[in-house]
Amino acid sequence: AQKVTQAQTEISVVEKEDVTLDCVYETRDTTYYLFWYKQPPSGELVFLIRRNSFDEQNEISGRYSWNFQKSTSSFNFTITASQVVDSAVYFCALDYTGGFKTIFGAGTRLFVKA
């Protein structure tokens, strides 16, 4: 079965702290894609990153970085020096070979306090 687990329901940090959002996935497919989306209070989901199953290189984009480890089926997201504007719900998602469907995790709500 395809599944995405985001065990952290809510995280609260103080501005400038680093924070890591965990994502664990399950799939039997060898070809799949993993995503992170950000949902600010306005509601619209904003695409952050897409990673395919054959590319385990970590990625850094400004204060954001992603750690993909197939050995542990994890695709964790770290925000360095968090800011109040990072407050949002973050979703991890899995797109597998089975079709045009994407499985979303339950989301992690991040609060960054000034």
Partner 1 sequence: SQTIHQWPATLVQPVGSPLSLECTVEGTSNPNLYWYRQAAGRGLQLLFYSVGIGQISSEVPQNLSASRPQDRQFILSSKKLLLSDSGFYLCAWSPGHSRETQYFGPGTRLLVL
Binding site for partner 1 (CB under 8 A): 33, 35, 37, 42-47, 50, 91, 95, 100-102, 104-107
**Between 48 and 80, CB nearer to partner 1:** 48
| Shortest distance, position 43 Cβ to partner 1, whole Å | 5
Amino acid at 94: L
Q: Is 88 exposed, middle or buried (0-12, 13-18, 19+ CB in 10 A)?
A: buried
Tokens matching residue 12:
């609260």
**Between 15 and 22, CB nearer to partner 1:** 22
| Cα dihedral 35, 40, 44, 48 in deg (nearest 10) | -30
| Shortest distance, position 49 Cβ to partner 1, whole Å | 9
| Shortest distance, position 16 Cβ to partner 1, whole Å | 27
Q: Where are the alpha helices (DSSP H) in 1-114?
A: none
**Between 68 and 107, CB nearer to partner 1:** 107
Nearest to 90 by CA among 25, 1, 7, 31: 7
| Shortest distance, position 81 Cβ to partner 1, whole Å | 27
**Between 17 and 55, CB nearer to partner 1:** 55
